[in-house]
Amino acid sequence: MPELRVDAMIFDMDGVVIDSGDVYAKHWRMWGAEHGYDYDRDIAHVHPGRPPVETVRIVAPDLDAEAESVAFNDSLDAEDGDDAIAAMPGAGALLASLPPGRWTIATSAFRGVAVTWLEHVGLPVPPALVTVDDIENGKPAPDPYLRAAELLGVDPARCLVVEDAPAGVQAAKSAGATVLALRTTHGRGDLGLADYHTAGLHTVSATVDDGEIVVSWESAAD
């Protein structure tokens, strides 16, 4: 079982600690239908890991991306969360095992959605939470992970980032972090930049030894 010693861990949210894929697919399908885009052809391969504003810029460059992203956020109401999201297996136990102030979440979601969904599924909201509201450039730019490391007071090179989407893996690697990719939403071929691969958080454990976080996991089969 591989093992890594780091100073901090940074988690993506959707597809890593929260299973929200059905909610996003539903709302991007609705958005696509409204604007004349096919979800499977035009959107499905673009939106994972990216903030809505970046997805709109890529899929529909003629639209007002800022306005569309605000409207998309407004559509992600609490009723969807109540019915369709859940904590990923192993997420609660892993987060509870980590020392406070030594982990956080960096997500492409808006802050209101992130806080509401984390609270709904019973996961803690870290004080150093980084959302799309807190940075200038979203994933795949390194900004979210650079900001998260800054808030934790840790060198990005001493952070383990846990991601599930190609854009997020690229962001973390560009920030200088080590990346553990989860096979929850994408296969190895899409996550080739990651340093390590595992099936999900249920395979990951962490302890503290001599001031360092010791992380171990079961490697994913190719």
What would you report as the CA-atom Rg of the chain, rounded to the nearest whole angstrom? Answer: 17
Please identify which residue in the block is written with the tokens 């609705």: 30
Q: Of 113, 105, 109, which Cα lies nearest the Cα of 78?
A: 113
Q: Which residues pair with 178 in a beta bridge?
A: 160
Is residue 158 within 8 A of residue 7, CB to CB? The reply is yes
**Rounded (10°) angle between helices 65-75 and 52-59:** 130
3-state secondary structure of 162: strand
Q: Write out the two tokens for 105.
A: 């979440």
* CB-neighbour burial class of residue 211 (10 A; exposed 0-12, middle 13-18, buried 19+): exposed
> Catalytic positions, please?
12, 14
Q: What is the per-residue DSSP string for 78-103? A: HHHHHHH-EEPTTHHHHHHHSPTTSE
The C-alpha angle with vertex 105 and arms to 207 and 131, in degrees rounded to 5, equals 170
